[in-house]
């Protein structure tokens, strides 16, 4: 029996895309998804919500220096782009003109929705365009939001080890929960699902790095139905593979995040000035629906969703979007090569850049990709021998960037790379020489851009999320910042090289201590180390790699904590907010600090790391890795 073709039905102010498996209803001309009918359920979206609050594209924008404005993007013009038995593609556009200045973001926005024959799901993508000489603006966030039926979808899955029954939205209402340190976090006091009582709910506990954020969603157990958001490519997301974004959370809500400042701050907010023209395609992403017979294990739907995700990844870039702004595979190019690492204090010869993250991003300085947020990025991982291939790169001018787990710093290939349709560029062997002056005297941590290897305490038993008990992501528990004061009530952390163990003795974040009167004070951590001999007229090198900073400062002093002027200070850095949002990293910083030999002594030495900022419990530093090197002559 042949699969039914795709059909369009017009119902007053709505249009329905129907392929016999799924029916998607959209408002006209708004382009809001008001209904998704599937497997006998009339609507998977929350029917108790207004139609405008079910499935929608949104953004947050502002004029320079003004407060952000939340905007559910409603089209003003509806067009049928493709209407065949094989495919339907609909367009909902909102065009900007000077009469709208200050009322709407100065962008032409074209929201597209696609339904294919035989497909158990639908696609959506958006084309944003800012024309030359249009007003300046910032765009802090844009995404697609779906709000599902709370009576049906109560089990959420983000990863094999991050899935659970979730609280209901009602459990976040007064009387059923207790507010915590910020609005997103709540202690469940009287939830409808009694076994959740005493747990903390916070949407940031379910954040995910871009590279791992490919499929997430919800399961309805009766009847067994899955609703999944699949993102087959990171190319249109900002900030590179390690940028963290929200996924799904209580609502039940599922997000397709394209652009956000979470875990980064203003550095990841695109700012358009001087009439700068800009155009970008976000997506397509795939909303996948699956089901199982009643009586079958509904949690198998997660396994099926992962298989579907891999199929979507293999099919990228799609050949069916009608817009010429979305480049198909024959319009793109590939880059391949091999990355080697040369650190003569580890090995005289080059070693492979095993597991390196290698990417193409707009031209800039080494490491600039993590703050790039306007254009496209294309990333891969090198194999055991350092070989890499970056496939399906859009046409344009790029630099090739990389970083290698186990080594500090960032690599940039000095020769710019231009991709034309059909390009197949071979770079040959590339050699990264990480920052190094002399031999390692001591080191703390692993240079991997994360603080996960350090000591992450158990949470307060009154503020627990059971999902993260005995979990690799134990840092996602609420309130860990308060544990520092409990562990170090009077004196700060002291780490002795050769004796201490950074997995047990180095707290994951240097944050303020709470005093008895509930005020906060800055902290000074000590690293004690011995030197058998000192090159008095030599220059030692201290390398401090920071995994995250939030309105913080690091002051560096050797052997005299009371010197008025530190040897080095970072100044005020960072707006990652990773402590409050349960991230174990934000943006990466590397400081290379000259240490005159005259400041060191033979025998016992102490390095003092002071973080003096103390207006909020969430201010602080997460270290990635610290190393002291002897002068080159050693």
Pairing of strands 333-341, 424-432: parallel
Residue 275, C-beta contacts closer than 8 angstroms, at least 6 positions apart: 132, 133, 134, 136
CATH of 9-315, one of 3.90.1150.10, 3.40.710.10, 3.30.420.40, 2.70.98.10: 2.70.98.10
**Stretches in the chain below the pLDDT threshold 70:** 1, 634
Strand order in the sheet with 87-94: 77-83, 87-94, 108-116, 121-130, 278-291, 224-230, 215-221, 153-159, 162-165
Q: Which residues contact 404 (CB under 8 A, 6 or more apart)?
A: 339, 341, 353, 354, 355, 356, 357, 411, 432, 434
pLDDT at 1: 59
Per-residue tokens: 341: 């690492």
Quote the CA–CA distance of 548 and 78 in Å, as a whole number: 44
Is residue 342 within 8 Å of 353, Cβ to Cβ?
A: no
Phi–psi pair at 475, nearest 5 degrees: -65, -10
CB neighbours of residue 212 within 10 Å: 15
The DSSP code for 334 is E
Give per-residue pLDDT as tens, 451-476.
999 999 999 999 999 999 999 999 99
Pairing verdict, β 162-165 and 153-159:
antiparallel
Is beta strand 523-531 parallel, antiparallel or unpaired with respect to 494-496?
Answer: parallel
Query: pLDDT at position 336, please?
Result: 98
**β-pair partners for 36:** 24
The residue extents of the domains of the chain are 9-315, 329-432, 440-629
Q: Can you tell me the distance from the alpha carbon of 410 to that of 432, in angstroms, rounded to the nearest whole number?
A: 8
DSSP string, 597-619: GGG--SEEEEEEEEE---SSTT-
Residue written as token pair 């339907």: 88
pLDDT tens figures, 383-415: 999 999 999 999 999 999 999 999 999 999 999
**From residue 462, how far is each of 10, 152, 218, 390, 612 by CA, in Å?**
53, 29, 27, 47, 30
Quick one: tokens of 435?
């920052």
Q: CA separation (Å) from 286 to 43, 246, 326, 457, 574? A: 18, 17, 15, 38, 34
Cα→Cα distances 364→43, 146, 360, 367, 407, Å: 47, 36, 11, 8, 21
Question: CB neighbours of 358 closer than 8 A, spacing ≥ 6?
Answer: 339, 379, 380, 381, 382, 388, 390, 400, 401, 402
Count how many residues are written for the chain: 634
Span 440-629 CATH architecture: Sandwich (2.60)
Residue in this structure with the two tokens 């004796």, named with its chain if needed:
499
Query: Which pTM does this prediction carry?
Result: 0.96
DSSP single-letter state for residue 257? E
The two three-digit tokens of residue 112, written as one number = 């597209």
C-alpha span between 257 and 249 (Å, rounded): 13
Q: In which residue are the tokens 């590939």 written?
A: 334
Q: How far apart are CA 515 and CA 294, in angstroms?
A: 57
> Which of 21, 12, 263, 261 has its CA nearest to residue 142?
261
- Is the CB of residue 269 less than 8 Å from the CB of residue 139? yes
**Domain 329-432: CATH class, spelled out:** mainly beta
Q: What is the pLDDT of residue 633?
A: 74
Question: Are 502 and 219 a contacting pair, CB within 8 Å?
Answer: no
3-state secondary structure of 505: helix
Instruction: Find the largest Cα–Cα distance for the chain.
Output: 86
Per-residue pLDDT, 602: 97
Answer for the pair 41, 90: CB distance below 8 angstroms, yes or no: no
């Amino acid at each position: 029996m042949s699969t039914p073709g795709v059909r369009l039905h017009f119902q007053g102010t709505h249009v329905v895309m129907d392929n016999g498996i799924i029916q998607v209803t959209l408002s006209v001309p708004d382009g809001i998804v008001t209904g998704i009918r599937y497997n006998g359920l009339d609507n998977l979206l929350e029917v108790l919500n207004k139609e405008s609050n079910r499935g929608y594209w949104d953004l947050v924008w502002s004029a320079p220096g003004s407060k952000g404005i939340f905007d559910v993007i409603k089209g003003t013009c509806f067009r049928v782009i493709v209407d065949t038995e094989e495919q339907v593609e609909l367009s909902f556009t909102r065009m900007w003109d000077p009469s709208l200045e200050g009322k709407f973001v100065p962008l032409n926005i074209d929201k597209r929705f696609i339904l294919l024959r035989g497909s158990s799901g639908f696609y959506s993508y958006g084309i944003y365009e800012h024309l030359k000489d249009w007003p300046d603006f910032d765009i802090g966030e844009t995404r697609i939001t779906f709000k599902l039926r709370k009576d049906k979808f109560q089990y959420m899955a983000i990863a094999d080890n991050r899935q659970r029954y979730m609280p209901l939205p009602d459990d976040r209402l007064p009387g059923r929960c207790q507010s915590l340190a910020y609005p997103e976090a709540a202690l469940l006091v009287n939830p409808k699902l009694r076994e959740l009582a005493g747990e903390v709910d916070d949407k940031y506990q379910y954040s995910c790095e871009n590279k791992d954020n490919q499929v997430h969603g919800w399961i309805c157990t009766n009847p067994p139905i899955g609703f999944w958001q699949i993102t087959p490519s990171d190319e249109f997301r900002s900030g590179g593979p390690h940028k963290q974004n929200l996924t799904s959370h209580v609502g039940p809500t599922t997000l397709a995040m394209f652009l956000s400042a979470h875990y980064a701050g203003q550095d990841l907010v695109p700012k358009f000035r001087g009439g700068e023209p800009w155009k970008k395609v976000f997506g397509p992403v795939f909303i996948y629906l699956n089901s199982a017979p009643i009586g079958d294990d509904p949690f198998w739907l997660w396994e099926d969703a992962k298989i579907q995700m891999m199929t979507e990844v293999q099919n990228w870039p799609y050949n069916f979007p009608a817009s010429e702004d979305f480049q198909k595979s024959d319009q793109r190019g590939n880059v391949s090569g091999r990355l080697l690492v040369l650190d003569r204090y580890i090995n005289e010869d080059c070693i492979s850049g095993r597991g390196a993250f290698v990417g193409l991003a707009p031209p800039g300085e080494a490491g600039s990709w993590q703050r790039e947020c306007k254009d496209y990025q294309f990333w891969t991982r090198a194999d055991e021998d350092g070989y890499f291939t970056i496939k399906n790169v859009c046409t344009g001018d790029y630099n090739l960037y990389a970083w290698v787990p186990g080594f500090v710093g960032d690599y940039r290939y000095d020769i710019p790379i231009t991709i034309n349709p059909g390009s197949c560029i071979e770079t040959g062997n590339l050699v990264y020489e990480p920052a190094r002056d002399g031999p390692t005297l001591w080191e703390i941590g692993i240079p991997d851009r994360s603080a996960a290897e350090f000591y992450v305490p158990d949470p307060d038993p009154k503020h627990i999320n059971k999902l993260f008990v005995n979990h690799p992501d134990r840092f996602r528990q609420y309130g860990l910042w308060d544990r520092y004061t409990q562990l170090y009530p009077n004196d700060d952390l002291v780490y002795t090289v050769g004796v201490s163990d950074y997995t047990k003795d180095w707290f994951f974040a240097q944050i303020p201590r709470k005093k008895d009167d509930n005020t906060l004070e800055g902290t000074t951590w000590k690293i004690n180390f011995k030197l058998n001999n000192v090159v008095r007229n030599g220059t030692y090198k201290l390398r401090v790699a920071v995994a995250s900073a939030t309105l913080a400062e690091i002051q560096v002093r050797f052997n005299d904590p009371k010197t008025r002027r530190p040897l080095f200070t970072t100044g005020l850095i960072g707006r990652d907010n990773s402590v409050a949002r349960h991230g174990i990293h934000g943006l990466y910083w590397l400081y290379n600090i000259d240490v005159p030999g005259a400041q060191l002594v033979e025998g016992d030495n102490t390095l003092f790391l002071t973080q003096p900022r103390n207006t909020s419990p969430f201010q602080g530093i997460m270290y990635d890795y610290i190393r002291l090197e002897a002068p080159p002559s050693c």
